[in-house]
Structures are given as C-alpha cells and as structure tokens.
Amino acid sequence: MQLGKRIKGWQKSCRKKLYEMYWRKLKTASSYVCLADNSNYYVINANDSHLGVKLLMGSEHLDSKICRFLDWCNSETSVFDERRSLVINVGANIGTMITPLITNGYFLRGLAFEPEPQNFRLLCTNLALNELDNNVLTYCMALSNVAGAQQMYLSKKNHGAHTILSESGKLSARDNRHDFSDHSIEVHTTTLDKFIKDTFPSALTDAGLLVVDIEGHEGFFLQGAERFLNETKIPILIEFAPDSLRNRGCLNNFLEILEKYYSKVVIDPLKNTGGEYMIESIEKVRALSGSRYVHDLFIFN
C-alpha cells in the first residue's frame, strides 16, 4: 500500500515537472495562452505558471468538481433555492470559478469582484469568450471591512495569490512560496454591505451562493458583509488558510462570524475525487484553525 502511494506520488511529481518545462517553453513563445477546462475556455497570462500548469495537467477540472458537489447538494440538502439565481464571486481572478457555475446552469447571473487590473481584464475577456459577458457584472475592486483604498502585493508566478496586507499584516510561509515582488498597487475597496445597499439591493432576495477566495483577507471581508449574512444566511463557498488569516490578523473574525450565522460545513468539497461528502458542525472549522493546510469550506444552515 505504502509503495503504491509512493509510486503514484513520484509519477505525479514527474508529470508536473514535464508540464512545467512545457509551460516555460510556451512563455517564450507568447504572452498569453488559451486553455480549456472541460467545456469552458480561458485566456491565461503566460507568467501565471501556477494556474497554467494545473490546467495543462488537467488537475483542476473545476467544472467536474463543482457540478458533482452542487448536484449532491441539490439531491441531499435543501440549501439552494431556484428562485435565487444570482451568484456572487469575491476574488474572481480570471473567471475559472464563476464561469462553470453559470455555463452549467446552476445560476443565471453573477457579480464578479477582482481588484487586480490585469486579472480583471482577463476576467472580462474570459466571460466574453464563454458568452457570459451579458450574464455577469464585473467590478474592479476589492471587498473588505472598510471603504477606501488598500495596498495589494503581487505574486510573480501565481496571479491568483495577490494579497492585500494591512499595516500590521504580514506574509505567511504559504505566501512566501508564491514569490511576491516588492511591488504593490493601490486598489479600491468597499464592503459588501455598502455595495449592496448603494448599488445592488436586489441581491438580498436574488443571491443564492457567495464564493470567496481572497488570499487571507476573508476575515476582513466577512466583517464588511455581516448585515448581508444576517439577513440572507446565504450559503458560502470560501477558502480557509489558517496561517494566512492569522498573519493578516483576521482569523478570529473569520471563525466568530461564521459561527455566529451558520451551523453546518462540508470540508474540502472541491478536493473530493468521488467519495462521500460529509456534513459536519460549524465548530469543526475552529478545530482546523491550528492546521497549516488550506481547505475549501462550504458553509450553510
């Protein structure tokens, strides 16, 4: 058994190295690459080796993982209401999450927030490429606990790892793997509560899923979304990186707000390769807070 696992691990490592070599060759030939993830297409910056190699290897296939999990939700729970046809994606990057949610028919419309200008342009390009530019409204801004402006630090090789740091925040060991440059940009921020009140009040009745992946800033985002969470109890698919949250100074915010408004969690639904999904108590998330591993969480009532 152990030998088999080692051989599988070695095979995966060798395969990844081959694709990394191939990606480096692609980078020398073009600034952008168009790749497919099942039935959807994405234009990717050739310098974004993290996402590019994953899509080349076929190891992402978010389409399949999302569809399998949401189909399970629809058959085993009553968490989704078909009248709530809007999905909100915070930290949309280049669109690899919101695109399959709509092209596969789980939602009809979307709001997508991405503050980094280059990622934002690719997000708009990919939505148009997949004929969703009329279905999704896009906003080049970050959602946080305050409205104003904050500094975003940029990763050289993983363009989904750009992160906002407050004056007291710092990078974690996980962040350091992403080769951050000294360069930062100023990004516009607001809160979800303010955005919905001022710009999109119909989200209170129309939104059926909140998807959040903002590289350790999730605790601050939740602070700025409490009114919306309290009124809607909307299901949330959110990244949980305890080290990053702790180093940003918002781990306690993250845990306390989720425990305040929600009671159930499915841990790592998008890493599931075909096994059973397990519904656990929300307190299980706090038990994971000492872990160095990154999890995706599906939070609901």
> Residue 294 pLDDT more than 80?
yes
Q: At what angle do helices 49-57 and 2-29 cross, to 10 degrees?
A: 120
Which amino acid is residue 169, in one-letter code? G
Domain count, the chain: 2
Predicted confidence (pLDDT) per residue in 240-290, tens digit: 999 989 988 999 999 999 999 999 999 999 887 777 899 999 999 999 999
Residue numbers of the domain that contains 242: 61-300
Contact status, residue 241 vs residue 214, Cβ threshold 8 Å: no
Confidence of residue 31 (pLDDT cuts 50, 70, 90): confident
Pair (42, 184) in one structural domain: no
Enumerate residues 6+ apart whose C-beta is below 8 A from 248: 165, 166, 169, 170, 216, 217, 219, 220
Helix, strand, or coil (residue 276): coil
Residue-level pLDDT at 295: 96
Predicted confidence (pLDDT) per residue in 91-113, tens digit: 999 999 999 999 999 999 999 99
Pair (267, 127) in one structural domain: yes
Question: How high is the mean pLDDT of the chain?
Answer: 85
> Residue 68 pLDDT more than 60?
yes
Residue-level pLDDT at 9: 53
From start to end of 48-170, where are the E strands? 86-90, 109-113, 136-139, 142-143, 148-155, 163-164
CATH number of the domain enclosing 152: 3.40.50.150
Of the residues 59, 78, 100, the one at which a domain ends: 59
Pair (44, 70) in one structural domain: no
Contact status, residue 108 vs residue 114, Cβ threshold 8 Å: no
Residue-level pLDDT at 44: 85
User: Cα separation of 76 and 59, whole Å?
Assistant: 27
Enumerate residues 6+ apart whose C-beta is below 8 A from 87: 98, 101, 102, 106, 107, 109, 110, 111, 207, 208, 209, 210, 211
Confidence of residue 167 (pLDDT cuts 50, 70, 90): low
Predicted confidence (pLDDT) per residue in 110-132, tens digit: 999 999 999 999 999 999 999 99
User: Cα separation of 217 and 49, whole Å?
Assistant: 23
Helix, strand, or coil (residue 219): helix
Of the residues 59, 75, 98, the one at which a domain ends: 59
Query: Which of 20-34, 169-183, 217-231: highest mean pLDDT?
Result: 217-231
Pair (127, 7) in one structural domain: no
| % of the chain residues with pLDDT over 90 | 60
Pair (36, 182) in one structural domain: no
Pair (109, 228) in one structural domain: yes
Predicted confidence (pLDDT) per residue in 155-165, tens digit: 877 776 778 87
Residue-level pLDDT at 23: 54
User: Cα separation of 210 and 86, whole Å?
Assistant: 9
Pair (72, 131) in one structural domain: yes
Pair (135, 28) in one structural domain: no
Pair (222, 261) in one structural domain: yes
Helix, strand, or coil (residue 74): helix
Pair (90, 193) in one structural domain: yes
Pair (140, 266) in one structural domain: yes
**DSSP designation for 270:** G
User: Cα separation of 240 and 255, whole Å?
Assistant: 10
Of the residues 59, 81, 102, the one at which a domain ends: 59
Enumerate residues 6+ apart whose C-beta is below 8 A from 143: 90, 113, 189, 190, 191, 192, 195, 214, 221, 224, 225
Pair (96, 50) in one structural domain: no
**DSSP designation for 272:** -
